[in-house]
Amino acid sequence: MAVRPILIAGDPRLSAPALPVTEFDDELAAFVDDLFETNTAAHGAGLAANQVGDPRAVFVYDLIDDSVRHRGCVINPVLETSEVPETMPDPDDDLEGCLSVPGEWFPTGRADWARVTGVDVTGAPITVEGTGYLARCLQHETDHLRGRLYLSRLIGRNQRAARRMIKDQNWTVPGNSWLPDGTR
């Protein structure tokens, strides 16, 4: 297992839709182990394959919601949600962050409920369903695999603040990454 560099906003690999996984082998299992190790080292709730530069439709999640730990991997996910609010998100309750936007948090509107269907690392069908933080994570990671960062969901002053932050951080060029050990 290895901790991999995490791409930062501005890299075109983060905006490319993921490719379906068709081979379920030892290499895929080792890659999923790397995703879990990288996510843990980065103190993340989830990590999608394209965040480490891999084009496959794979994400892992590992989080605690309402005192319950949720941990798993979804391959080739299909997302269903309840209605996504169109109003300004609550600045206290709707904060969202991303390992590809390190150190930044913005209020982001998400559906209260989400279900993801897909397959596990062996190709067996799985379904993950949740509310609250788990629902937010499932939506966030599925967005990654569609080539969409959460920053694109921001509205109003939050959207303007994110644009300024991207420019100030010089994240407008490809190739920026960081390792969970703090190096860039």
Three-state SS sequence of the chain? CCCCCEECCCCHHHHCCCECCCCCCHHHHHHHHHHHHHHHHCCCCEEEHHHHCCCECEEEEEEEECCEEEEEEEEEEEEEECCCCCCCCCCCCCEEEECCEEEEEEECCCCCEEEEEEECCCCCEEEEEEEHHHHHHHHHHHHHHCCCCHHHHCCHHHHHHHHHHHHHCCCCCCCCEECCCCCC
At 97-145, the pLDDT tens digits run 999 999 999 999 999 999 999 999 999 999 999 999 999 999 999 999 9
Torsion of CA 116, 147, 68, 112, to 10 degrees: -70
User: Which residues make up each annotated binding site for Fe cation?
Assistant: 98, 140, 144
Where in the chain are the domains? 6-84+109-178
**Fold for the domain defined by 6-84+109-178:** Peptide Deformylase (3.90.45)
Residue 184 has pLDDT above 80, yes or no: no
User: Which residues make up each annotated binding site?
Assistant: 98, 140, 144
The residues annotated with a catalytic role in the active site are 141
Query: What amino acid is encoded at 53 in this protein?
Result: G
At 17-74, the pLDDT tens digits run 999 999 999 999 999 999 999 999 999 999 999 999 999 999 999 999 999 999 999 9
